[in-house]
């Protein structure tokens, strides 16, 4: 079981509990050390319960539509659609781009999203075209191969929903776009003005750095990543920078995007954590 809430005994949790029961969410409430503690089955459900607890509980007492039996899984996803729309939107756009580009094999569509446009000569332009400003962001949606897509999508789901549940969709969207622009620009500059690169990994390292530094400065349940995650990701970054991953046949690695994304995320995580700590 996973601890979702710890509240004073005098706080009335009955509306929330009725809502959880009506949606078939497995939970348990116990008294521990003079507090009432609400337990659920896993951390994902706990995240949703914490977010629901912060909302107006008046609409939670309504009964579900008659004739509709809702399982805990369907209840979880229905609430997810409402609580993490930006996370799901970014993943949807990434999936659509993966389909349209054939996971990087359809070059006619890939060049529509590259950092620099295609020239009449058939080569990518050496400089970005500010009239096509969206290209500063769109390389984050290009992926080359299923494993590249799956790895990045799973990590964006894990990190994006944490930030969105804690700070809201607009904040996550802003971080994603800002880190995307900076990491793409850094990779274009570092790779010798080559515009052919892509992937969400620069953004992922930025979101990782944001959660990591924020959690160090102002601990909270949403950014408490599993032990070893930060170490594993930093070790992978070091391995990629060593050149060994490319030598093993995994293709070119956008190390500049990774490093710049991580640094930007750490910077904003430090600022946000410091501001939260002063409240």
- Which of the following is catalytic: 27, 143, 258, 260? 258
Domain boundaries, the chain: 2-81, 84-278
**Residue 81, pLDDT score:** 67
CATH node for 84-278 = 1.20.1540.10
Q: What percent of the chain has pLDDT over 90?
A: 44
* Predicted local distance difference test score (pLDDT) of residue 73: 52
User: Using CA of residue 151, residue 209, residue 259, residue 142, what is the dihedral sign?
Assistant: positive
CA 86, chain centre distance (Å) = 9
User: Is 258 in the active site?
Assistant: yes
pLDDT tens string 208-231? 999 999 999 998 877 888 878 888
CATH topology of domain 2-81: Alpha-Beta Plaits (3.30.70)
Q: pLDDT tens digits for 45-60? A: 888 888 888 775 555 4
Q: Could you write out the DSSP letters of every residue in 205-269?
A: HHHHHHHHHHHHHS--STT-PPTTHHHHHHHHHHHHHTTHHIIIII----HHHHHHHHHHHHHHH
The model's confidence at residue 194, banded by pLDDT at 50, 70 and 90, is low
Catalytic residue, chosen from 148, 201, 222, 260, is 201
- Between 191 and 73, name the one with better pLDDT: 191
pLDDT for 66 = 47
pTM beyond 0.85: no
Query: In angstroms, rounded to a whole number, what is the distance separating the alpha carbons of residues 109 and 120?
Result: 16
On the question of a common fold for 2-81 and 84-278, the answer reads no
């Amino acid at each position: 079981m996973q601890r979702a809430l710890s509240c004073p005994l005098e706080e009335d949790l009955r509306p929330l509990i009725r809502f959880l029961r009506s949606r078939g969410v497995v939970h348990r409430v116990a008294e521990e050390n003079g507090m009432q503690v609400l337990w659920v089955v896993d951390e994902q459900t706990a995240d949703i319960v914490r977010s629901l607890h912060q909302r107006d509980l008046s609409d939670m007492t309504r009964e579900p539509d008659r004739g509709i039996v809702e399982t805990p899984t369907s209840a979880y996803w229905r609430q997810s659609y409402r609580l993490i729309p930006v996370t799901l939107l970014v993943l949807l756009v990434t999936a659509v781009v993966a389909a349209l580009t054939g996971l990087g094999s359809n070059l006619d569509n890939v060049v529509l999203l590259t950092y620099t446009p295609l020239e009449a000569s058939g080569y990518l332009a050496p400089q970005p075209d500010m009239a096509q400003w969206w290209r500063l962001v769109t390389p984050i949606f290009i992926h080359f191969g299923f494993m590249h897509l799956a790895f990045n999508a799973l990590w964006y789901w894990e990190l994006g929903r944490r930030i969105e549940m804690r700070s809201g969709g607009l904040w996550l969207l802003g971080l994603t776009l800002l880190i995307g622009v900076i990491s793409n620009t850094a990779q274009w500059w570092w790779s010798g003005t080559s515009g052919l690169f892509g992937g969400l990994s620069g953004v992922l390292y930025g979101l990782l750095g944001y959660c990591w530094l924020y959690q160090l400065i102002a601990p909270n349940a949403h950014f408490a990543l599993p032990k070893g995650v930060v170490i594993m990701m930093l070790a992978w970054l070091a391995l990629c920078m060593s050149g060994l991953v490319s030598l093993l046949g995994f293709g070119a690695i956008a190390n500049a995007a990774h490093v710049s994304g991580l640094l930007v995320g750490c910077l904003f995580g430090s600022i946000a954590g410091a501001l939260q700590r002063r409240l």
